[in-house]
């Protein structure tokens, strides 16, 4: 087995060296559509073929993977995501913290929250959970995501199930026109800002905070050793090229108020580290 793994690793390295990126990108897209391959093989090969992009431009690497439903995106399917039994424990904890924070702010979230935006909503399964169980009086529930395949499948599932949720395929870097003069009571951005480099992440947080009426709920990757709030600058996680940010600083420098937060270092639940920031907009 180790010998087979070594051969596979060396062949991927050789292919990256001799085959131009443009060809490898097409090949990665092709492999990701081969349903006869196991999910692990599809993800492994398609991501590895373009892995060098992560060193040159991590932002573009993540955008390429997600917008083509490659790699991790493979597990974002209706049967694996919708339904209470499929909601990750880390997200249950996030929503429990969120409702605690809202209650402490004396907000009766079941009645008072009327609008929600989920940035990086994928199929819309978190929005559906919120619509059914948490913000039961919400009239407007919007989701945006760069993964067109997830948006299309999620939208038809939601429509067939009588949901009010509207999904739009959009890059979070281009939210300005979509947001225009809209205000949302709650903006959720879970596991998504980690795909933007520091400056772009700051820009996104600014944009989201400006359109938040009640609370911005944002999660990042927890810095394993020191609390993220102590980071002078964002770091790249070597394993997957995603970013570890100081979201506390980003919110504070915009005049936002952090009303609740969670940082649990190396601890993981369902493969997710725990770094949550709950912020209200500047007064």
Ligand X SMILES: C[S@@+](CC[C@H](N)C(=O)[O-])C[C@H]1O[C@@H](n2cnc3c(N)ncnc32)[C@H](O)[C@@H]1O
In the bound state with ligand X, the residue whose beta carbon lies nearer, of 88 and 229, is: 88
Helices 39-49, 2-18: axis angle to 10 degrees equals 40
Q: Which residue lies nearer to ligand X by CB, 51 or 72?
A: 72
Nearer to ligand X, 20 or 271 (CB): 271
Alpha-helical runs (H) found in the chain: 2-18, 21-32, 39-49, 52-56, 58-67, 78-81, 89-104, 109-112, 125-129, 148-160, 176-179, 198-210, 247-253
Find where tokens 């490659």 sit: 70
Q: How many CB atoms lie within 10 A of CB 264?
A: 14
Lookup: tokens for 213: 């009426």
Query: Where do contacts with ligand X occur on this chain (CB under 6 A)?
Result: 62-63, 66, 91, 120, 122, 126, 145-147, 150, 171-173, 190-192, 195
Least separation in angstroms between residue 123's CB and ligand X is: 8
Q: Minimum distance from CB of 32 to ligand X (Å)? A: 13
As measured in angstroms, the least distance from the Cβ of 243 to ligand X is 11
Shortest gap between Cβ of 58 and ligand X (angstroms)?
11
Q: Are 168 and 195 in contact (CB under 8 A)?
A: no
- Cβ proximity to ligand X: between 70 and 138 the closer is 70
Span between the terminal Cα atoms of the chain, in Å: 60
- Of 10 and 134, CB closest to ligand X: 134
**Which CB sits closer to ligand X, 192 or 234?**
192
- Which residue number has the CB closest to ligand X? 120
Closer to ligand X by CB, 24 or 69: give it: 69
Rounded distance, CA 27 to CA 46, Å? 7
Nearest approach, Cβ of residue 171 and ligand X (Å)? 4
Report how far residue 74's alpha carbon sits from residue 156's, in angstroms, rounded to the nearest whole number.
Answer: 18
How far apart (Å, rounded) are the C-alpha atoms in residues 280 and 252? 10
Least distance (Å) from ligand X to the CB of residue 126? Answer: 6
> Closest separation between CB of residue 120 and ligand X, Å?
3
Residues whose CB is less than 8 angstroms from the CB of residue 236 and which lie 6 or more positions away in sequence, other chains included: 58, 242, 243, 244
């Amino acid at each position: 087995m180790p010998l087979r793994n070594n051969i596979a690793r060396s062949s991927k390295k050789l292919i990256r060296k001799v085959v131009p990126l443009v060809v490898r990108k097409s090949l990665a897209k092709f492999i990701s559509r081969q349903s006869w391959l196991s999910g692990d093989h599809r993800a492994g090969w398609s991501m590895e073929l373009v892995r060098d992009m992560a060193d040159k431009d991590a932002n573009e690497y993540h955008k390429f993977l997600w917008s083509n439903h490659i790699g991790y995106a493979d597990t974002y399917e209706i049967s694996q995501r919708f339904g209470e039994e499929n909601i990750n424990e880390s997200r249950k904890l996030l929503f429990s913290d969120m409702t605690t924070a809202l209650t402490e702010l004396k907000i009766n979230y079941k009645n008072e929250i009327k609008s929600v935006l989920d940035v990086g909503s994928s199929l819309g399964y978190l929005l559906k959970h919120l619509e059914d169980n948490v913000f039961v009086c919400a009239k407007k529930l919007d989701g945006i995501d760069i993964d067109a395949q997830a948006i299309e499948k999620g939208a038809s599932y939601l429509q067939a199930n009588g949901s009010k949720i509207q999904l739009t395929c959009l890059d979070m870097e281009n939210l300005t026109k979509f947001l225009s003069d809209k205000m949302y009571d709650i903006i959720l951005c879970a596991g998504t800002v980690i795909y933007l480099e520091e400056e772009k992440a700051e820009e996104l947080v600014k944009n989201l905070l400006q359109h938040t009426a009640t609370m911005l709920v944002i999660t990042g990757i927890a810095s394993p050793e020191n609390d993220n709030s102590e980071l002078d600058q964002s770091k790249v996680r070597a394993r997957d090229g995603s970013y570890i940010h100081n979201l506390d600083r980003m919110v504070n420098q915009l005049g936002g108020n952090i009303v609740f937060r969670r940082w649990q270092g190396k601890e993981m639940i369902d493969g997710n580290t725990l770094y949550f920031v709950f912020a209200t907009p500047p007064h």
